[in-house]
């Protein structure tokens, strides 16, 4: 099988590429290395350094490579950045996605698996865990751009029969997640604690997210390739709410860190509390998360120490 993985030099994408290569498949990565790293890309994968907004490049790569599957993970991923730069966010996340969907349609791709965002397409739910049927009321340009991309996937399924699976991911954590950006609280806190610095919690620590370890997310991408799976949206999380302070305490326990966090003002535009109802993914994708938060944290800490990122 031949796969294109956009964003394959990034945190989640690079793990997906490794898994596909390990299974004996061929992979072409398209990534502009804006946040991804060349060294994360599996040596057996083909690599194109390019921007998904560049329609001609996408068309050229697609027409030459003609993949069976497209895994679309390249994105502007920073929720807070999307408030100040909604047009750039839309160009990458909507137009970039549309460029890929158009080529996928022309070259009869068997399925597109899309990295959507369970943490942002619903907005602020009034009950948790939130099912896929819950209304979509995003509260950020990023959430809106993910939602619009999903709508295009759905439209292309209805117009042209192009199959897709949109994975509405919770908050993913694990090795290779950058501690430098605004996302990835596990990596940010872990690095600070290992350096002996005090991490900052925005808000009072009671905000919750549905955190999931990266290996479990990769399982869901692989499960999505089964041709019997209906083209649809699926929540991918652990179905549990974990507060920022609970994340802090778990990391502190594993690292052996005893300082209290610095508390700062909550950041506007962020959802307060959310977890995802994963029944539909369990039933249709025959998928479920296997890694406990503590197990995931141990693997993350081991990785950071080994790589001497600090």
Ligand X SMILES: NC(=O)c1ccc[n+]([C@@H]2O[C@H](COP(=O)([O-])OP(=O)(O)OC[C@H]3O[C@@H](n4cnc5c(N)ncnc54)[C@H](O)[C@@H]3O)[C@@H](O)[C@H]2O)c1
- Positions touching ligand X (CB under 6 A) are 7, 9-13, 30-36, 51-53, 73-77, 92, 96, 115, 117, 169, 171-172
As measured in angstroms, the least distance from the Cβ of 290 to ligand X is: 18
Q: 62: closest CA among 3, 150, 146?
A: 3
With contact defined as beta carbons under 8 Å apart, do 83 and 137 qualify? no
Burial degree of 173 (CB within 10 A; 0-12, 13-18, 19+): buried
* Residue written as token pair 């990023």: 142
State phi, psi for 111 to the nearest 5 degrees: -165, 145
Say which of 81, 134, 142, 211 is annotated catalytic. Answer: 142
CA–CA separation, 238 and 231 (whole Å): 22
Report the chain's C-alpha Rg in angstroms: 19
CA–CA separation, 9 and 41 (whole Å): 5
CA–CA separation, 21 and 1 (whole Å): 10
As measured in angstroms, the least distance from the Cβ of 182 to ligand X is: 11
Closest CB to ligand X among residues 109, 187: 187
With contact defined as beta carbons under 8 Å apart, do 54 and 91 qualify? no
User: In angstroms, how far is the first alpha carbon of the chain from the final one?
Assistant: 39
With contact defined as beta carbons under 8 Å apart, do 212 and 111 qualify? no
Query: What's the token pair of residue 93?
Result: 């996340």
CA–CA separation, 270 and 183 (whole Å): 12
As measured in angstroms, the least distance from the Cβ of 224 to ligand X is: 14
Q: 168: closest CA among 204, 210, 127, 116?
A: 116
With contact defined as beta carbons under 8 Å apart, do 130 and 122 qualify? yes
As measured in angstroms, the least distance from the Cβ of 258 to ligand X is: 28
As measured in angstroms, the least distance from the Cβ of 96 to ligand X is: 5
Closest CB to ligand X among residues 109, 257: 109
The answer to whether residue 142 is catalytic is yes
Kindly state the greatest CA–CA separation across the chain: 57
Closest CB to ligand X among residues 36, 199: 36
As measured in angstroms, the least distance from the Cβ of 45 to ligand X is: 13
Closest CB to ligand X among residues 31, 277: 31
Closest CB to ligand X among residues 73, 130: 73
Name every residue whose Cβ is closer than 8 Å to that of residue 308 and which is 6 or more positions away in sequence: none
Closest CB to ligand X among residues 37, 282: 37
- Which residues have a catalytic role annotated? 142
């Amino acid at each position: 099988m031949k796969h294109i993985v956009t964003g394959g030099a990034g945190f989640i994408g690079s793990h997906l590429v490794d898994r596909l290569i390990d299974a004996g498949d061929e992979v072409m990565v398209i990534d502009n290395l804006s946040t991804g790293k060349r060294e994360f890309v599996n040596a057996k994968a083909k690599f194109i350094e390019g921007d998904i907004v560049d329609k001609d490049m996408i068309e050229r790569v697609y027409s030459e490579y003609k993949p069976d599957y497209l895994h679309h993970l390249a994105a502007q991923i920073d929720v807070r950045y999307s408030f100040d730069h909604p047009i750039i966010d839309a160009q990458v996340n909507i137009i970039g996605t549309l460029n890929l969907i158009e080529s996928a349609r022309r070259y009869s791709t068997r399925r597109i698996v899309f990295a959507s965002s369970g943490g942002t397409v619903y907005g602020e739910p009034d009950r948790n865990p939130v099912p896929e049927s819950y209304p979509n009321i995003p509260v950020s340009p990023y959430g809106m751009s993910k939602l619009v991309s999903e709508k295009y996937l759905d439209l292309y399924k209805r117009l042209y029969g192009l199959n897709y699976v949109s994975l509405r991911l919770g908050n993913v954590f694990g090795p290779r997640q950058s501690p430098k950006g605004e996302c990835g609280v596990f990596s940010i806190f872990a690095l600070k604690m290992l350096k002996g610095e005090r991490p900052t919690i925005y808000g009072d620590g009671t905000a919750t997210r549905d955190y999931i370890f990266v290996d479990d997310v990769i399982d869901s991408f692989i499960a999505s390739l089964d041709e019997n799976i209906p083209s649809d949206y699926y929540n991918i999380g652990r179905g549990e709410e974990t507060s920022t302070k609970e994340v802090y305490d778990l990391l502190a326990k594993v690292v052996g860190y005893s300082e209290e966090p610095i508390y700062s003002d909550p950041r506007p535009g962020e959802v307060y509390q959310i977890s995802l109802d994963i029944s539909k993914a369990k039933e249709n994708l025959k998928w479920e998360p296997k890694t406990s938060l503590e197990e995931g944290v141990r693997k993350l800490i081991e990785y950071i120490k080994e790589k001497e990122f600090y």
